[in-house]
Chains A and B, each alone.
Chain A
Amino acid sequence: MTDISTATLASHQGTGAVTLENVTVTFNTDRGRVTALQDITVSLPEHGFVSLLGPSGCGKSTLLRVVADLLDPSAGDITVLGRTPEEARKSRELGFVFQDAALLPWRTAIENVRLPFQVGGGARGEAESPEKLLELVGLKGRENAYPHELSGGMRQRVSIARALVCRPRVLLMDEPFGALDEITRDRLNEELLRIWEATGTTILFVTHSIPESVFLSQQVLVLSSHPGRVRELVDINLPYPRKLEVRDTPEFTAIAAHLRRLLETC
Chain B
Amino acid sequence: MSTTLTDRRITEGPELPVQKRRRRPTLGRMLLPIGVVVGLILVWQLACSVFNIPTYIIPSPVEVWQSLSENWAMLMQNTWPTLIESVLGFALGNLVAILLAVLFVHWKLAERALMPVAVFIRTIPIVAVAPVLVIMFGQGYTPKILIAALISFFPTLVNMVKGLESVDKQSLELLRVLSASRNEVLWKVRMFASLPYLFASLKIAAGNSVIGAIVAEWIGSQEGLGYLIIQATYNFNTPLLYATMTVASIMAVLFFGLIGLIERLVVTWEADVKA
Task: Give A contacts to B, CB under 8 Å.
Answer: 65, 68-70, 89-90, 92, 94-96, 98-100, 102, 104-106, 115-116, 118-121, 138, 140-142, 145-151, 153-154, 184
A241 shortest CB reach to chain B, Å: 20
B274 shortest CB reach to chain A, Å: 15
B26 interface hit (Cβ, 8 Å): no
| Top 4 A-B residue pairs of the complex, sorted by shortest distance between their CB atoms | A148-B270, A120-B179, A119-B180, A102-B170
A93 shortest CB reach to chain B, Å: 11
Which of B10-18, B65-73, B209-217 lies at the interface?
A: B10-18
Interchain CA distance A105-B13 in the complex, whole Å: 22
Instruction: List the B side residues contacting A94 at CB < 8 Å.
Output: 177
Interchain CA distance A208-B270 in the complex, whole Å: 31
Instruction: List the B side residues contacting A89 at CB < 8 Å.
Output: 176-177, 179
Instruction: List the A side residues contacting B12 at CB < 8 Å.
Output: 141-142
Let me know if A96 and B174 touch, CB within 8 A.
Answer: yes
Instruction: List the A side residues contacting B16 at CB < 8 Å.
Output: 151
Let me know if A120 and B184 touch, CB within 8 A.
Answer: yes
Instruction: List the B side residues contacting A65 at CB < 8 Å.
Output: 173
Instruction: List the B side residues contacting A119 at CB < 8 Å.
Output: 175, 178-181, 184, 188
Task: Decide: A120 near B171, CB < 8 A? Known: A141-B8, A151-B18, A153-B15.
Answer: no
B52 interface hit (Cβ, 8 Å): no
B175 shortest CB reach to chain A, Å: 7
Let me know if B171 and A104 touch, CB within 8 A.
Answer: yes
B9 shortest CB reach to chain A, Å: 11
Instruction: List the A side residues contacting B181 at CB < 8 Å.
Output: 119-120
Interchain CA distance A141-B179 in the complex, whole Å: 30
Interchain CA distance A153-B188 in the complex, whole Å: 25
8 extra A-B contacts, CB within 8 A, seeds A148-B269, A149-B19, A184-B15: A89-B179, A96-B173, A106-B267, A106-B268, A141-B8, A146-B269, A148-B18, A148-B270
B236 shortest CB reach to chain A, Å: 55
Closest to B266 in A: A106
Summed over the interface, the residue pairs from A and B with CB atoms below 8 Å come to a total of 93
Instruction: List the B side residues contacting A146 at CB < 8 Å.
Output: 268-270
Instruction: List the B side residues contacting A121 at CB < 8 Å.
Output: 179
20 A-B residue contacts at CB 8 Å?
Answer: A90-B179, A92-B179, A98-B170, A98-B174, A99-B170, A100-B168, A100-B170, A104-B171, A104-B192, A106-B192, A106-B195, A120-B181, A120-B184, A121-B179, A140-B11, A146-B268, A148-B270, A151-B16, A151-B18, A154-B17
Considering the complex, which residues of chain B in the window 220-272 have a beta carbon less than 8 Å from any beta carbon of chain A?
Answer: 267-271
Let me know if B15 and A102 touch, CB within 8 A.
Answer: no
Task: Decide: A70 near B177, CB < 8 A? Known: A141-B8, A151-B18.
Answer: yes
Let me know if A149 and B189 touch, CB within 8 A.
Answer: no
Interchain CA distance A105-B15 in the complex, whole Å: 19
Interchain CA distance A90-B175 in the complex, whole Å: 12
Q: A98, A104, A151: which contacts B17 (Cβ < 8 A)?
A: A151
Interchain CA distance A104-B179 in the complex, whole Å: 17
Closest to B15 in A: A151
A43 shortest CB reach to chain B, Å: 22
A47 shortest CB reach to chain B, Å: 21
Let me know if B184 and A105 touch, CB within 8 A.
Answer: no
Q: Mark B159-196, 1 if CB is under 8 A from A, else 0.
A: 00000000010110111111111001000110010010
Task: Decide: A70 near B176, CB < 8 A? Known: A104-B192, A141-B8, A151-B17.
Answer: yes
A266 shortest CB reach to chain B, Å: 27
Let me know if B8 and A96 touch, CB within 8 A.
Answer: no
A72 shortest CB reach to chain B, Å: 12
Instruction: List the B side residues contacting A96 at CB < 8 Å.
Output: 173-174, 177
Interchain CA distance A100-B188 in the complex, whole Å: 19
Let me know if A141 and B11 touch, CB within 8 A.
Answer: yes
Instruction: List the B side residues contacting A69 at CB < 8 Å.
Output: 176-177
Instruction: List the B side residues contacting A154 at CB < 8 Å.
Output: 13, 15, 17
Instruction: List the B side residues contacting A102 at CB < 8 Å.
Output: 168, 170-171, 173-174
Closest to A172 in B: B177
Interchain CA distance A106-B268 in the complex, whole Å: 7
Let me know if A116 and B178 touch, CB within 8 A.
Answer: yes
Interchain CA distance A90-B269 in the complex, whole Å: 31
